[in-house]
């Protein structure tokens, strides 16, 4: 098969299309003929620093969609010919991928197979952090930074579908108005406005944060009593000043997670929960496919450059076959 390899640490030029042996599904896995792969920011980090830290070549890609071509032993739910989307731990930028059966999901009604490649990593991340870890309850207010990102757009739309008022930040006025068109009550351009001043009366209960750094003290001041701050990245800096008495007096909870290194057992359990709780919402139109651009596999460098430019809104796809 053809696959994209991160050949060494570096810029987009280190991505190479190479002939690679087809993967063989182990017991409990299915082999998927990949139709599309979703890009995620983590793919860029894998290329820049190599996620193993030792420059070992790897095939990036955390979410795919396609058709099952064969099943390993002990797989009963899925059959050859089934169309699925799936969460994987690398290996998605390729014509075939072997995936644990428990990390596959059916294509939601109303979505094409290609569009569904944009769902697994974003929906599982948002659901696990906002609803499972931070336990966003009915009526509580959510703030999502990076509102126009794949993660941000998913969080905004899901919160709207669940009836939670949602606020957001983004880097341009045009992105902000677009986030509001998705249902955000207010989107703040963090480059031209101070989001803390604008949102000081919003009464934020939960913050999904990919920014960290200098946004952190503002986030903590914005949270109400018993508020929860959940980190999924620290794009503005891994160090922050926090006011400890403020945490104590408001009984705030600061937490965070990384999905990629979690076990296959955890991912299967989360996938099952998402299928039960979120897939029915998607089938009723809670999420719209927000595909900003699609590229063939051999133009992967352009696709990643677009993501690094932050010019996109929503998701970027690689069309594989």
Ligand X SMILES: NC(=O)c1ccc[n+]([C@@H]2O[C@H](COP(=O)([O-])OP(=O)(O)OC[C@H]3O[C@@H](n4cnc5c(N)ncnc54)[C@H](OP(=O)(O)O)[C@@H]3O)[C@@H](O)[C@H]2O)c1
Q: What are the φ and ψ backbone dihedral angles of 133, each rounded to 5 degrees? A: -75, -50
Assess contact for 120 and 87: CB atoms under 8 A: yes
Nearest distance in Å: CB 54, ligand X:
21
Q: Which residues of 50-76 are buried (b: 16+ CB within 10 A; e: fewer)?
A: bbeeeeeebbbbbbbbbbbebbbeebe
Among 232, 278, 286, 287, binds ligand X (CB under 6 A): 232
Among 115, 121, 140, 209, binds ligand X (CB under 6 A): 121
Among 150, 165, 212, 227, binds ligand X (CB under 6 A): 150
Contact call for residue 125 and ligand X (CB under 6 A): yes
Nearest distance in Å: CB 73, ligand X:
30
Nearest distance in Å: CB 197, ligand X:
17
- Binding part of the chain for ligand X, among 7-15, 48-56, 67-75, 231-239 by CB under 6 A, reads 231-239
Tell me which residues in 37-56 interact with ligand X (CB under 6 A). Answer: 40-42
* C-alpha to C-alpha distance for 266 and 182, rounded to whole angstroms: 31
Assess contact for 138 and 114: CB atoms under 8 A: no
Cβ-based nearer residue to ligand X, 29 or 121: 121
Q: What are the φ and ψ backbone dihedral angles of 12, each rounded to 5 degrees? A: -60, -20
Nearest distance in Å: CB 164, ligand X:
19
- Binding part of the chain for ligand X, among 105-113, 148-156, 177-185, 219-227 by CB under 6 A, reads 148-156
Among 50, 233, 271, 304, binds ligand X (CB under 6 A): 233
- Binding to ligand X by CB under 6 A, coded x per residue (else -) over 161-200, reads ---------xx---x-------------------------
Contact call for residue 210 and ligand X (CB under 6 A): yes
Contact call for residue 99 and ligand X (CB under 6 A): no
Q: Closest Cα partner for 301 from 10, 27, 77, 90? A: 10
Nearest distance in Å: CB 37, ligand X:
13
Q: Closest Cα partner for 38 from 134, 127, 109, 123? A: 123
* C-alpha to C-alpha distance for 284 and 307, rounded to whole angstroms: 29
Cα separations (Å) of 135 from 43, 213, 238?
A: 28, 24, 24
Assess contact for 211 and 193: CB atoms under 8 A: no
Q: Closest Cα partner for 31 from 73, 81, 77, 68? A: 68
- Binding part of the chain for ligand X, among 82-90, 95-103, 199-207, 255-263 by CB under 6 A, reads 255-263
Nearest distance in Å: CB 78, ligand X:
25
End-to-end CA distance of the chain: 11
Contact call for residue 218 and ligand X (CB under 6 A): no
Nearest distance in Å: CB 236, ligand X:
5
- Compute the C-alpha angle 240/244/247, nearest 5°: 100
Contact call for residue 35 and ligand X (CB under 6 A): no
Nearest distance in Å: CB 25, ligand X:
25
Q: Closest Cα partner for 304 from 35, 53, 41, 97? A: 41
What is the layout of strands, in order, in the sheet containing 166-170? 186-189, 166-170, 142-144, 204-209, 223-231, 253-256
* Binding residues vs ligand X (CB under 6 A): 40-42, 121, 125, 146, 148-151, 170-171, 175, 210-211, 232-233, 235-236, 257-259, 307, 310
């Amino acid at each position: 098969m053809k696959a994209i390899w991160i050949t060494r640490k570096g810029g987009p030029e280190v991505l190479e299309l190479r002939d690679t042996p087809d993967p063989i599904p182990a017991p409990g896995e299915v082999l998927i003929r990949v139709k599309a792969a979703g890009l995620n920011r983590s793919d860029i980090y894998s290329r820049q620093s190599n996620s193993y830290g030792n420059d070992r070549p790897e095939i990036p890609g955390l979410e795919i969609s396609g058709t099952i071509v064969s099943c390993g032993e002990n797989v009963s739910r899925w059959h050859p010919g089934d169309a699925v989307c799936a969460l994987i731990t690398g290996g998605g930028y390729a014509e075939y991928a072997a995936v644990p059966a428990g990390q596959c999901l059916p294509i939601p009604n109303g979505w094409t197979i290609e569009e569904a490649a944009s769902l697994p990593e974003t929906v599982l991340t948002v659901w696990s952090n906002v609803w499972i870890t931070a336990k966003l309850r009915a009526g509580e207010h959510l703030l999502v930074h990076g509102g126009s990102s794949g993660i941000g757009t998913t969080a905004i739309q899901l919160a709207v579908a669940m009836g939670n008022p949602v606020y957001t930040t983004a880097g341009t006025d045009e992105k902000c108005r677009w986030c509001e068109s998705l249902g955000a009550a207010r989107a703040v351009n963090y480059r031209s406005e101070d989001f803390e001043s604008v949102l000081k009366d919003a009464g934020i209960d939960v913050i999904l944060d990919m920014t960290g750094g200098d946004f952190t003290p503002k986030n903590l001041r914005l949270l109400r009593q018993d508020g929860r701050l959940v980190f999924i990245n620290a794009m503005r800096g891994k160090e922050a000043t926090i006011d400890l008495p403020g945490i104590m007096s408001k009984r705030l909870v600061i937490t965070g997670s990384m999905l990629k290194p979690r076990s296959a057992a955890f991912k299967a359990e989360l996938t099952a929960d998402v299928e039960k709780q979120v897939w029915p919402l998607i089938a009723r139109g809670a999420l719209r496919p927000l595909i900003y651009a699609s590229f063939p596999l051999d133009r992967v460098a352009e696709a990643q450059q677009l993501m690094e430019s932050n010019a996109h809104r929503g998701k970027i796809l690689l069309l594989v076959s």
